[in-house]
Amino acid sequence: MTVDYDLIVIGGSTAAIYAAVKASRLKARVALVEPPDFQSNWLSQGVIYTQVLQQVGRAAKQRREADKFFRDSQVPESTTQFATDVPWHSSISVQVTQAKQWADVLLSHRLQKNSPEVLASSGVDVIVGVGEFCRRPHLGFTVNNRLLRGRAYLIATGSGPKIPQIEGLQEVGYLTPPDIWQQMKPQAGEGEEKNKANSNLEGFSSFPLKEKIPLGNKPNLNRRGENLEQLAASTHNLQGSWVVIGGSPLGTQLAQILARLGCDVTLVESGSGILPKEDPEASRLVQAKLEAEGVRLLTQSPVSHVRQIENKKWIQA
């Protein structure tokens, strides 16, 4: 049986593009099947904004530590004045704004580098569309009414957030990592001062958590993202109080980033510890690091329901 390609890569993720280019450089015949919206989706762009947020969080943490050093140390008055003129928390918005500009430049460069024209010049046959595997008349991958046959297939579609089945979650509303990425995207009127909605979350231990979700006047966010534009326009600071449900690597990363940005963060995990698929000792070290940085961890605490009472949100775990 003749084949069209040595390798058929399915997906628009960063890993898919890397694999396609790498195989092409090894003189393989490669086809890359990308979804129509790959240039603007979370898989192709979200990693950049997440890394930028991580850099800003690290810088904010260093600023806090520097301020503490200058407050606690005997240094010349002029040096102390220089170090404490601007509080660390008031510089976060400036850092995030600059980071967004940096991310936009990186993103523009990556989109240009990974454009279909550039990939085609590297020997990769780029096919835009959504397809499916078929067995007859021959095993292959069908896309745009075309049957692609290859010696090997690589599925690199990436992954998205899994929304847990929690009572009241759909009605109350929530954010996912792609939503946070949307907050980093440039929007018109970004410098205007916006109102923020304040909410309260309370868990099984009756601990009060003030959740400041960056919305407009009415806290009405749902998973379909109808309010993502006003969400993006109203917060580039990413400040307030947050509850992160799930101790996966991405959930753990976001909890640390938000804590370093000065947010009040609670990480809720239904299992006995975070990062359940990792080495137990490594997971404990990461957990200790998060707690040292101010993240409140609640393990063995499955969330049963979420509700909203008088513009305040409550979580039961």
- In this prediction, residue 40 carries a pLDDT of 58
State mean pLDDT over 146-155.
96
Over residues 13-71, the pLDDT tens digits come to: 888 999 999 999 999 999 999 988 766 566 666 777 777 778 778 877 887 777 776 66
Higher pLDDT, 35 or 92: 35
Q: What is the residue-wise DSSP string for the chain?
A: ---SEEEEEE--SHHHHHHHHHHHHTT--EEEEE-TTTTTSHHHHHHHHHHHHHHHHHHHHHHHHHHHHHHHS---HHHHHHHHSS-GGGGHHHHHHHHHHHHHHHHHHHHHHTSHHHHHHTTEEEEES-EEEE-SSSSEEEETTEEE-EEEEEE-----PPPP--BTHHHH----HHHHHHHHS--TTTTS----EEEEEE-TT--EEEEEE--SSS----TT-TTHHHHHHH-SS--SEEEEE--SHHHHHHHHHHHHTT-EEEEE-SSSSS-TTS-HHHHHHHHHHHHHTT-EEE-S----EEEEETTEEEEE-
Over residues 238-253, the pLDDT tens digits come to: 667 889 999 999 899 9
Query: Domain 5-40+111-155 adopts which CATH fold?
Result: FAD/NAD(P)-binding domain (3.50.50)
> pLDDT above 70 covers what percent of the chain?
68
What confidence category does residue 163 fall into, taking pLDDT thresholds of 50, 70 and 90?
Answer: confident
Q: Is the pLDDT of residue 175 over 60?
A: yes
Over residues 176-193, the pLDDT tens digits come to: 877 776 655 554 444 433
Highest mean pLDDT among 121-135, 150-164, 207-221: 121-135
- Rounded Cα distance, 115 and 156, in Å: 17
Q: Is the pLDDT of residue 215 over 90?
A: no
- In this prediction, residue 198 carries a pLDDT of 30
Q: Is the pLDDT of residue 80 over 60?
A: no
- In this prediction, residue 292 carries a pLDDT of 95
| 169-316 and 5-40+111-155 share a CATH fold | yes
State mean pLDDT over 190-197.
36
- Rounded Cα distance, 152 and 68, in Å: 56
- Please report, for the chain, the start and end positions of each structural domain, with discontinuous segments joined by +: 5-40+111-155, 55-105, 169-316
Smallest Cα–Cα separation from 255: which of 247, 76, 305? 247
Q: Is the pLDDT of residue 227 over 80?
A: no
Higher pLDDT, 61 or 275: 275
What CATH number labels 169-316?
3.50.50.60
